[in-house]
Amino acid sequence: MVIDESFDTGLANELARLESYNKHLYRPNTYLHKWWARRCGSTFRLLLKHLVADPARRDYYTAGGLEGKIVLDPMMGGGTTIHEAIRLGANVIGIDIDPIPVLQARAALSGVPLARLEAAFTTFWQALAAGLAPAFQTACPRCGRPAPLRFMLYGLRRHCACGPALFVDSLAQRQAKGATVSLCPICHAVDGVGAAQLRPAAAGCTHDRPPGWPIYEKGVRHCPRCGAPFADELATPFYARYTPLVVAGHCRDHGPFFAAPTLADLALLAAAGEQRAGLDFGSALPVEPGPKSADLVRRGILSYLDLFSSRQLLYLRQALAHLPGDDEAVRLYLALLVSTSLEFNSMLCGYKGGSQHRPGAIRHTFSLHAYSFPYTALENNPLYPRPASGTLLKLFHDRVARARRWAASPHERALTPAGPRQVAIAGEQDLGVEVSRPAGLQFGTRRFLLRQGSAAALDLPDGSVDYVVTDPPYFDSVQYSDLAAFFRVWLRLLLPAGGQAGICWEYDTAGSAVDPQANGRGPLVNGQYVQVISAIFAECHRVLRQAGGRLIFTFHHWNPRGWAAVTLALQRAGFLLVNYYVVHSENPISVHIANFKALTHDAILVLAPTEADIRRSWDRPAAVDTADSHRFCQGCAQLLGWMLATGLADEEVERLWVGVIG
């Protein structure tokens, strides 16, 4: 088997360096809905190509090669493995304990025609717009004509001994050609209301407006007047802690504009606020307990409803009312679209559109892979009728239409002397046929079986899988199921029980393969991560074909306990390291790792059951280089191989890892 002896790390690195900057553009069909920690599809495609038996079909840009094979991903997350394997003709099994990955894969791999989705979306969008467009209306400050609101910017209200004050990220709201649209910190006037009239902000306040609460930029911790520290209004619902400061819209005659809210704008907010109390979502949608959601509770946020403005809740209520009920496949697509739109339509969204290069750009809810709380909050208009960041129209184009076209005719980047260019892979599709039982995978191609639940107990026959290819959870990274609760509370309303086969919205997080303690400081040997991942790897061992079966996964971690946990799990499950390869995995300027000492490489670990007739000798490395991401992953993979071959006691495994890289 080629993967046992070699892997084209040069090509993998070149492709991954391109893809890691904009993964969603390279694999649009896997990005229908938000998920975290996705690996480069190009790396997994190349990895799977090294499992192809026919040398003539191993080339990266050649279609297929895995027909007749069954590939399992027991922790599929974003679905990279199953998408890449199904493109190569394999039949695939995807399992995840969270329902969102299962629903996303089901929609993305289905063959629902784009024309059917476009017709349903048009009907859905028009119904929403008919009822909600008046709530997202404003007026051009130059001609007074009605114009659709693009978004509204809010300042965070805090208190000191003097009284209330407002905080924003920056007083500059828009910059272009040396001019600035700015917010007056004294009277809240907005200078430069028309795109054609941008002018430098005036020094001081020279506006014919009464003074309001003072506005400060973030970083001011104590009141300049009384010296007292500013404090948040934790007893006030989160959405109500923000005060409207700027409306942004687009006039058909005068173009884009920024302006201070008028009495009419404020009246629309008040009307939405009055309707809020009558909105029934079946419950208060309490914040689910978890390490990440604890950040919400610490800020006095006890209900997910409080993360949304009144107009945003009206949008959600209307979406629930207008989703089609007679076409389950289409409803799934539109429900996922509405859910993913919430990442751009909550009061956790910030504003990064001040630069002339990023006009109106939204800092979405999970841009930092955590809950973050903006000073300048952005209330988006999901029904804005022009292509704009985070709107339903743009999301449908980017997440659905583009993905459907790409799935029918996937493209890859070819590396040429003149630079990368797109090439179609003739004969491939990122689509399949769903089956309900493992027996359905024994014939045909591009068939997929999806299961929600723990992979620690697989409903699969012994020796029924050719390859297990996965990317296991990141040891102490707890964000997957915890942060996903932000979406689950709405998806369970958009897709009620019985609407999707095999989906359970309530599941036991004790089956999640993560360390429940922050930073992996909990008990290791008998801790949750080791127990769960050991059981999953043991099941992988059981279902793998003993002749040529391989477990292949990517892993990296600075924490020696993370490597120790994986070592213990593999040792208990009965695997030996056949080979390893180190590849580029992360874009170093990604916002969630920028300015951190983050690893930007993955170790690809190729393992075989101990019963296989494979014996590979691994030398124990004298040291592991912690100064370089590539050499670090290389040293850790080699040490893992030596430990698995040596067969150490549990306590010795942890002690050695901590001693070498701790």
Report the DSSP pairing between strands 172-176 and 179-183: antiparallel
Least confident of 59-73, 415-429, 514-528: 514-528
* Global pTM value: 0.93
pLDDT in tens, 79-100: 999 999 999 999 999 999 999 9
Whether residue 625 contacts residue 635, with contact meaning beta carbons closer than 8 Å, is answered with: yes
pLDDT of residue 592: 42
Compute the distance between CA of residue 87 and CA of residue 19 in angstroms, rounded to an integer.
Answer: 18
Which of these CATH numbers, 3.40.50.460, 3.40.50.12780, 3.90.550.10, 3.40.50.150, describes 2-110+401-661?
3.40.50.150
Closest CA to 373 of 185, 160, 156, 173: 156
pLDDT of residue 274: 97
pLDDT in tens, 274-322: 999 999 999 899 998 888 899 999 999 999 999 999 999 999 999 999 9
Average pLDDT on 219-226 reads 92
Confidence of residue 194 (pLDDT cuts 50, 70, 90): very low
pLDDT in tens, 421-473: 999 999 999 999 999 999 999 999 999 999 999 999 999 999 999 999 999 87
The residue extents of the domains of the chain are: 2-110+401-661, 117-390
Average pLDDT on 582-599 reads 63
Confidence of residue 176 (pLDDT cuts 50, 70, 90): low
Q: List the end-to-end C-alpha distance of the chain, in Å, as a whole number.
A: 35
Whether residue 193 contacts residue 259, with contact meaning beta carbons closer than 8 Å, is answered with: yes
pLDDT in tens, 600-659: 899 999 999 998 888 788 999 988 999 999 999 999 999 999 999 998 999 999 999 999
Chain centroid to CA 232: 29
Compute the distance between CA of residue 656 and CA of residue 646 in angstroms, rounded to an integer.
Answer: 12
Return the amino acid letter for 610.
T
For residues 534-563, b (16+ Cβ closer than 10 Å) or e, as one string? bbbbbbbbbbbbeeebbbbbbbbbebbbbb
Confidence of residue 396 (pLDDT cuts 50, 70, 90): very high
Token readout for 613 is 């007739």
SS3 481: helix
Q: Describe the crossing of helices 310-322 and 479-494 by its angle, rounded to 10 degrees.
A: 60
